[in-house]
Amino acid sequence: MGIDVWQPRTHIHGQSTSVNLVEMDDNWDSLEADIAQCTRCNLCETRKLSVFGSGNKNADWMIIDDTPRQSDNLATTLLSASDLLLTEMLRAIGLDRQEVFITNTIKCSPRGNHEPKPSEIEGCKMYLLRQQALIKPIIILALGVVAAKSLLGTDKPIEALREKSHTLNDTPIVVSYEPAVLLTSSLDKRKAWSDLKFAIQIIKNKR
């Protein structure tokens, strides 16, 4: 398929020059509790269960989807057909689903699956930053306009952001399409393959 197989890094986490985004005593338990109890935006009023994320908490790859959908099983993320598609794409580059950490930009599903408001995106951003600081990934995949807006502070469309190297606190970010979009667009799916190869090349260049 022309996709390189991912080779995990051998160096130890924590050697990044990133800005320290979390308190020294931050940890996964307190982060999960903060999200579960969060009232930073009005989505807490309709929250059934927050979506924390799942996967390897020491992952090289942190993958950030847009928003959880109310039809999803909120105990995990990116389920259903779009989850299966992403899982297959990761497998094609040699990554098992459990090797990466997958989460959502917004931790509580918007009522009626509406597009998140700027206040909701901004309210939840600190949790992404805390997750980034705990995981210390070597690359972030931002999948969708909401993820890109949160991480990069831009309203530009995916087309204008993909195939470019962005960073957040020294961590490279590759922007691509939301998995759900890929289910209905074979053209975008081909572009998403290209984006994965682009991400691998960025990592190779860092080494």
Least distance (Å) between residue 56 CB and ligand SF4? 22
Query: Quick one: tokens of 72?
Result: 């999803």
CA trace torsion 183, 186, 192, 193 (10° rounding): 120
Q: Which residues ranging from 59 to 118 are in contact with ligand SF4 (CB under 6 A)?
A: 106-108
Check if the beta carbon of residue 1 is closer than 8 Å to that of residue 92: yes
# chain residues binding ligand SF4, by CB under 6 A: 13
Angle at 189 between CA 188 and CA 191, to 5 degrees: 60
Q: Which is nearer to ligand SF4, 35 or 175 (CB)?
A: 35
Least distance (Å) between residue 43 CB and ligand SF4? 4
Q: Which is nearer to ligand SF4, 40 or 136 (CB)?
A: 40
Kindly report the number of other CB atoms within 10 A of residue 152's CB atom.
17
Among 55, 68, 123, 179, binds ligand SF4 (CB under 6 A): 123
Nearest to 44 by CA among 106, 137, 129: 106
Q: Which is nearer to ligand SF4, 106 or 199 (CB)?
A: 106
Among 44, 85, 152, 183, binds ligand SF4 (CB under 6 A): 44
Nearest to 38 by CA among 116, 125, 148: 125
Residues in the chain: 207
Least distance (Å) between residue 24 CB and ligand SF4? 23
Q: Is 31 in the site for ligand SF4 (CB under 6 A)?
A: no
Q: Is 120 in the site for ligand SF4 (CB under 6 A)?
A: yes
Q: Which residues ranging from 126 to 185 are in contact with ligand SF4 (CB under 6 A)?
A: none
Kindly report the number of other CB atoms within 10 A of residue 57's CB atom.
12
Among 59, 74, 102, 124, binds ligand SF4 (CB under 6 A): 124
Query: Quick one: tokens of 118?
Result: 């700027």
Residues 6+ apart with CB under 8 A from 25: none
Q: Which is nearer to ligand SF4, 133 or 196 (CB)?
A: 133
Which residues are at the interface with ligand SF4 (CB under 6 A)?
Answer: 35, 38, 40-41, 43-44, 50, 106-108, 120, 123-124
